[in-house]
Amino acid sequence: MTAADLAPFLDPLALAIVGGGTMLAVALRTPGRDLVRGVAALRVLGRRRFDAEPLLAQVAALTRISRRHGVIALDRAVIADADVAAAVEAIVDGARADAVAELVARRRSARAERHRAAAELWAAAAEAAPAMGMIGTLIGLVRMFTTMSDPAAIGGAMAVALLTTLYGAVLASLVALPVAARLRRLARVEAQERLRLEAPLVALASIQPAGVRAPHEIAA
């Protein structure tokens, strides 16, 4: 297919109506922070699914260090993942196991909510695009009926009427919906993987500091 073959399907006005209208509709119904996150989420589409195994291995290494040298030794650990880093920081500060479990669960929920908001932005775009296509069709029909006396203008108006419907369907079905579905799938996998981190981190928080006996040993 050559550029000449594609030329009849390209109309700047139809693109402006559908593309601009969809962006405006999404912007009006989405908070600014979620709007930025939804657009920024496009960069994760090509990444591999989140895998907790490297983090589990790091937590296991931190557990060994803590047993040998105490949790204070973890203060020098370099942890790239923000959630694990926050949990380890709390452990170093003396947080109890139940507090660490609550912290990990809270951060996991907040992360899932951010992912949900990003996916909803693209779902909203998929919902708005066909409506913008219908609006463009009505605009094109109005232009066509008002220029019935000018045969040369009827073709352009009819092109807008038809192409806006086409653009709306393509934008919704081939762009926005697939992006939303992939973001939801990636978020679901990450939430499941991060759930595996909670038990090892809670166990790390339960390690007794050096020189402190466990409660059952004191009772004995």
Over residues 163-178, the pLDDT tens digits come to: 999 999 999 999 999 9
Residue 148 included in any domain:
yes
Q: What is the pLDDT of residue 20?
A: 95
Q: What rounded mean pLDDT belongs to the chain?
A: 89
Token pair for 11: 């109309």
What's this model's pTM, rounded to 2 decimal places? 0.82
Domain, as residue range, for 165: 11-209
Distance CA 101, CA 197 (A): 10
Number of domains making up the chain: 1
Residue 217 pLDDT greater than 60, yes or no = no
Is a pLDDT exceeding 50 seen at residue 212? no
pLDDT, position 51: 95
Mean pLDDT of 97-101: 94
Give which of 131, 126, 129 is closest to 179, Cα–Cα: 126
Query: Do residues 97 and 83 touch, judged by C-beta distance below 8 A?
Result: no
Instruction: Compute the CA torsion angle 183, 184, 186, 190 (nearest 10 deg).
Output: 130
Quick check: is 214 in a domain?
no
Q: Which residue has the tokens 């006005």?
A: 13
Token representation of residue 194: 């991060």
Is residue 121 pLDDT above 80, yes or no?
yes
Residues 169, 170, 173, 177, Cα dihedral to 10°: -110
In a domain, 219, yes or no: no
Residue 25 half-sphere exposure toward CB, CA atoms < 13 A: 19
Q: Is residue 1 part of a domain?
A: no
Domain-located, residue 145: yes
Look at residue 217 and tell me if it is in a domain.
no
Give the per-residue pLDDT at 202.
95
What pLDDT does 147 receive? 79
The pLDDT assigned to 211 comes to 44
> Per-residue confidence at 157, pLDDT binned at 50, 70, 90?
confident
Residue 43 lies in a domain: yes
Cβ atoms within 10 Å of 220's Cβ, excluding its own: 7
pLDDT above 70 as % of the chain: 91
Question: pLDDT at position 23, please?
Answer: 96
Residue 98 lies in a domain: yes
Q: Average pLDDT of 136-144? A: 91
The pLDDT tens digits of the residues spanning 42-79 come to 998 888 899 999 999 999 999 999 999 888 899 888 99
> What pLDDT shows up at residue 215?
42
